Structure 1
């Protein structure tokens, strides 16, 4: 199996209002997010790619236009946890690129969430 990944970055604020008031994530705060999309295929296309990285530009445009420097509570359905965001980006990518196998999201250098069906 061939696997490729591409990394995207954005900054945004959010607040997990369903958590107790004394939980740090219940307060308004922000992160510098990293999104990594993974695509895989058993065979390469005629150009020798799983998919040309350039074809993933719509994800950058979507992130920049919808998420970057936004308040995630205003753009996400449900809590804006890293886990929910990983699933959201996975669904968005898989609808466009059937080779999508996983999406990972980082909120901090030490934390990652992944959705992989």
Structure 2
């Protein structure tokens, strides 16, 4: 199996208001997010790619337009956890590129959430 990945960055605020008031994530705060999309294929296409990285520019445009420097509670219809965001980006990407096999989201340098069906 061939696997490729590409990393995207954005900054945004959110708060998880469903958590107890003394939980740090219940307060308004922000992160410098990293999104990594992974694509996999058992064979390469005629150009020798799983998929041309340039085609993934649509994800950068989507992130820059809908997520960067936004309040995620206003963007997402679900709690803006890294886990939910990984699933959201996976679904968005998979609808465009059938080779998408996983999406990872990081809120901090030490934390990652991944959605992989």
The TM-score, its normalising length taken from structure 1, stands at 1.00
Match of 2:73 in 1: 73
| 1:86-106 CA distance string (max 9 Å, x none) | 000000000000000000000
How far apart in 2 are the matches of 1:112 and 1:43?
A: 29
**How far does residue 52 in structure 1 lie from its aligned partner after superposition?**
0.2
Match of 1:94 in 2: 94
How far apart in 2 are the matches of 1:45 and 1:78?
A: 36
**Structure 2: runs of 5 or more not aligned:** none
Match of 2:2 in 1: 2
The TM-score, its normalising length taken from structure 2, stands at 1.00
What stretches of structure 1 move > 3 A for 4+ residues in a row? none
Secondary structure at the counterpart of residue 96 of structure 1: coil
Give the alignment's Cα RMSD to 1 decimal. 0.2
**How far does residue 77 in structure 1 lie from its aligned partner after superposition?**
1.1
